[in-house]
Structure 1
């Protein structure tokens, strides 16, 4: 079973591990190998623990947790495992949208199963609940999964060069304005 819920401080180590694992797969060949090898799940966990407890500016973190038959091999019976997460809050800089999706990371084995869509719905519903009428996110231009945001109705709205991991790279901003376009794109499919 796959469940989306608000993250708890105890989830931080698993979130840090997911962050590192997804960066190592998604950005292989995009970011320098030594940078990816040096990523620390513990360092990221500390940052995410703070993000989970810091609710200023409408900030929230949601996790995708799996158990039972959906759990990764080796997961003890009855235990759940974090396989993805999303975070966001009010936009960190004005101009493009009122709300910002800051992160969305999902382990490779859980892609193409609707989990990313469900995580995006959780953060979009949260942003709408805290008063954001539009949402945006930045994605590296060379991110191989950037198509996902376009498939959810994200409209490319800005592009900029950033300096990251010792190199200059491009990033794109996708915007959902109004935020209801993202909520509609991530609505559960009707059964029947």
Structure 2
């Protein structure tokens, strides 16, 4: 199924062994992996939003609640172009990305895709998993007929912004503020980055 959507099939990096396993790969997620996806999302959010959100809010994040939402999404994705992809280190799931037609007010969902989430377990960063996920996302949205893909990043997250810009993404001028509680007591500023999936090699 992976190759059908432009994502390379896992390839073994070892010629030895009766059951060779790729050292790293990316493929479509399975419903049974929802628990691990929820765990990674909570761990990644606690790192990403440290100092931006109150500590008690981050502490209260519940992996099981996130997992239930991911399981439902994987079992009933709705829109055919809703995709959840996972990065693997051997057999271990270490990251994931979720892509969907964009629901931004200025977007055309027929041509604009949105990375709703892209997260790697902080314990598995700096091993290329994020880049492999991003490349697979671009390949997949291109195969699904999108001509543009966007992502929102926190305006103060220089590391994440550099991750995207070094891959060829750039700001498109859009920005927003998330109001966590609806009373303006906790607001997070974000900027939108974009790329043309058709421009990838």
TM-score after normalising by structure 2: 0.78
Matched, 1:164 2:149: no
Residues 64, 85 of structure 1: 8 Å contact kept? yes
Name 1:73's counterpart in structure 2: none
Q: Alignment partner of 2:51: what SS?
A: coil
**Match for residue 5 of structure 2?**
none
How many residues are treated as equivalent by the alignment? 170
1:55: Cα distance to partner? Answer: 4.6
1:46 is aligned, of 56, 61, 68, to: 68
Report the aligned-residue RMSD.
1.7
CA distance in 1, matches of 2:34, 2:24: 18
Runs of 4+ in 1 over 6 A off after TM superposition: none
Q: Give the distance between the partners of 2:140 and 2:126, measured in 1 at CA.
A: 23
CA contact 2:177–2:187 (8 Å) conserved in 1 = yes
Please report the TM-score for the alignment, with normalisation by the length of structure 1: 0.82
In structure 2, stretches of 5+ residues that fail to align are: 1-22
Range that drifts further, 82-91 or 160-169: 160-169
Distance in 1 (CA, whole Å) between partners of 2:120 and 2:89 is 12
Q: Which has the larger radius of gyration?
A: 2
How many angstroms does 1:180 deviate by?
2.7
The C-alpha deviation readout for 1:168-191, integer Å capped at 9, x for no partner, is 120110011x2234x34xxxxxxx
CA distance in 1, matches of 2:186, 2:60: 16
- Kept in 2, the 8 Å contact 1:132–1:179? The answer is yes
Match of 1:135 in 2: 149
Runs of 5+ unmatched residues, structure 1: 68-79, 185-192
- Post-superposition shift, 1:113? 1.9
Match of 2:106 in 1: 95
